[in-house]
A and B are shown apart, each in its own frame.
Chain A
Amino acid sequence: MDNEQLNSPGYDIPDELKNVVSITTLDRLYNWGRRSSVWPLMFGLACCAIEMIAAQASRYDMARFGMEVMRPTPRQADMMLVSGTVTKKMVPLIVRLYNQMPEPKYVVAMGACASGGGPFKEGYNVVAGIDKFLPVDVYIPGCPPTPQALIHGMIKLQEKIDKESLSKVRWYDRKKEDSVYIPVPVLGPDLMDPRRFAEIKAIAAAKEG
């Protein structure tokens, strides 16, 4: 329902209440609150973090979109901006930070590395994209994305939040207790994802040599 229809309920509104009361849906109110105060987790991984700082600073000023409050603790953050190359040594910590963030939470993969490994994909210590572990909401291309691109990505995230519905979002689903707990990867001879232990064992056994 758009605003026009909502505000024309089909019966007379007394004059003294006109322009005082606004009628909306709960979804819309909830989404408006969420989208206007997306607080990112304050952590930078690599080069992209510098453009993230530049987007917060004088010329670009991300505060215009309600996203300037960077929280250093995951307990107060809504959004994880994965700003740079995710390495195997770092990914257990990123997953732990993600698990510590309260829901609702969003993940934005900023730049080529976080989206898919980028120029360093072939490296032995590089995870080819954070989406191997975390559910990503918005991908921002670029190496690094300019502040304009970052802000555009943030606006896309706001549009995504606008379309959410309380009855459908995963964090109010009663059937699942902890809908997005990600098991923390383990550092072994190489990076081990606990969800794939059986598979790794089977392939290693079948390996030649």
Chain B
Amino acid sequence: MATPVTTATLDLAARFPGAVSADARPGYKGWIVEKDKLIEVSTAIRDEFGYDHLTAVTGVDYLPEGKMEVVYHAFKTTGGPVLTFKVQVPRVDPVEVPSVTPVWPGAEFQEREAWDLLGIKFTNHPDLRRILLWEGFEGHPLRKDWKEAFYEEDAKPFKSRWPEGKHVMAEEKNPFKDNINFPKDFDPEQWVPEGEAALYGALARYQVQEGSLKTDHIVINMGPQHPSTHGVFRAAVTVDGETVVSLKPVMGYLHRNHDKIGERNTFLQNMPFTDRLDYFNSMSNNFGYAVAVEKLMNIQVAERAEYIRVIMAELSRIQNHLVFIGMLGNDLGMMYTPALYAFEERELILDIFEAVAGSRMMCNYYRFGGVVRDLPEGVLEKIKGLVFERLPGKADELDRMLTENEVFVARMKGIKVINAEDAIRYSITGPVLRAAGVPYDIRRADPYSIYDRFDFDIPTRPNGDLMDNYLLRLDEIRQSLRILQQAIKQIPEGPVMTGKPQYQVRVPAGESYGRVESPKGELAFYVVSNGKPNPFRYHVRPASFVNITALEKMCVGTKIADFIAILGVIDIVLGELDR
């Protein structure tokens, strides 16, 4: 188990005089680094200060100040609080910032996302292409002066809905009568699509080896409609025979503009949108967003609500891992049988969600300062029955059915996913990191809510192969059951909300980075408020998206059939990956 390291007072400004200064804006923390010194300072942060895990990279467009800011959040894998550092550049095109991929390769996709949505050019980036949108898209949508086709006002509630209360279809206001917008004098007949030359160009080139057989590589395109890609994920793969030589993931087929819609919404209106991020675990998503905004509002959560939150989040983790095991079976060709076992138990957990929140999947249950309503009568008894009697037995049943199944073992044992060192470099979090042997779990490393009150282990596995990833999920189900059993015994009576329920919450100006251990890894929300009812910047750091950065690293050298299994154990979910 990782012991929390006592952090020595970290003074970057003293270490780099002139290059680093403390962020003095009210409500902000961290350090502002000069653009030219970024790589030098980053290397020192990683090597001297031990912040080996860069989890989030994102940008903020401070239009009123005429600045663009790139925000980095770094952690130690041994535990401890966040180190935030920022780079500020004038908002004049081209907005250029050096890429930190030489220091932390895990930043690659997040920098691509910042380029795509904010138009921040990262110099020295190995493969700077658009990631969520397509090449040729007009503009960078998260810039504050960019307006979508259905633009009405900067912030909700829109005046046409309230107080005027006259609703007009969004199509009526747009000259094209649809959700599209084109520059003046645009002629679609003359348009030459960029195509996918950039994507296929990024794949490794084939070189004939001296004295070897004259073979050729084949480029295979998998997805977005493919039964094994867990949704609309796509990958372009070059194979030599059956061995993967090069691989580029393509995403954005479910990009639902979460960040942009989130900046128009009020703080509370974002809660139901977070449900639709990782749609298996709406409870965990609510948790992350609530933690982030509560940090900013600086309020305490009602005691009973804390327990209810933990109970719901852990139930959510159990059903996620059950489905994971079932779907992994599907990916490996054990069509449906394990999945049917998994879904049987999942339905029982969804019944509880439906009873407390009113919806099976999109729970929208957490509020700032508590949860929306108390547990209905009889639900606690039901949960008790599940976690003390039914689920432990069912976890053992899955274990007996699969763990020693010869075909299952033959497909999984010894197929390396990633080793510990690379996993940390690539910013991987969650079960994939722990299966590689790193005991890093935010519930223990940087405790939030009331996780410090429970007695549970952080399971790890030594080999980091497919089998370990599967076994780790079983371990985690058992640990979650342990937490649940304690929480049910300890849960107190009392109110489930601090203060009165509010339609419009007051959030002081400042920034906050709230993170939770979602079943897929670190789910974090970076929220910037300027004191208005809407977040100025609302960014989601999803686990799936960052974990997929290392996909090429994981897959090169394995067989194409194993690529499916590796994608399966990363446990991506597209709602969260594309947002």
Point out residues on A near B: beta carbons under 8 Å: 42-47, 49-51, 53-54, 57-59, 72, 84-85, 87, 89-90, 93, 97, 117, 119-128, 132, 143-144, 146, 186-192, 197, 199-201, 203-209
Contact = CB atoms under 8 A, between A and B. Distances in A.
Contact of A47 (B171, B175, B276): B276
Contact of B225 (A87, A97, A128): A97
A200 B182 contact: yes
Given A45-B231, A90-B224, A119-B273, A186 B187 contact: no
Given A42-B227, A54-B347, A124-B257, A189 B186 contact: yes
Top 6 closest pairs, chain A to chain B, by CB: A123-B257, A57-B343, A189-B138, A47-B279, A124-B148, A204-B186
A201 B253 contact: no
Contacts of B180: 190-192, 200
B175 A203 contact: yes
Nearest to B272: A119
Contact of B361 (A50, A124, A187, A204): A50
B136 A189 contact: yes
Contacts of A54: 343, 346-347, 350
Contact of A46 (B138, B181, B279): B279
A144 B231 contact: no
Contacts, number: 176
Given A188-B182, A201-B186, 14 more contacts: A43-B227, A45-B231, A45-B254, A49-B231, A57-B344, A58-B343, A93-B253, A123-B148, A123-B260, A187-B137, A188-B191, A197-B189, A200-B176, A203-B175
Contacts of B334: none
Contact of A209 (B136, B181, B184): B184
B184 A207 contact: yes
A186 B362 CA distance: 33
Contacts of B575: 46-47
A89 B255 contact: yes
Nearest to B277: A47
B362 A58 contact: no
Contacts of B350: 54
A92 to B, nearest CB: 10
A201 B189 contact: yes
A123 to B, nearest CB: 3
Interface of B: 132-134, 136-138, 141, 148-150, 152, 170-171, 175-176, 178-189, 191, 193, 224-227, 231-232, 252-257, 260-261, 264, 272-273, 276, 279-280, 339-341, 343-344, 346-347, 350, 360-362, 574-575
A143 B359 CA distance: 9
Nearest to B252: A89
Given A84-B254, A203-B176, A125 B133 contact: yes
B256 A58 contact: no
A120 B175 CA distance: 20
Contacts of B182: 188-190, 200, 203-204, 207
Nearest to A96: B225
A63 to B, nearest CB: 11
A147 to B, nearest CB: 9
A46 B150 CA distance: 22
25 contacts: A43-B232, A44-B231, A45-B232, A46-B575, A47-B361, A47-B575, A50-B280, A50-B361, A51-B360, A58-B347, A84-B254, A90-B253, A93-B253, A121-B150, A124-B260, A125-B257, A128-B179, A186-B188, A188-B136, A188-B186, A200-B188, A201-B187, A204-B185, A206-B175, A207-B175
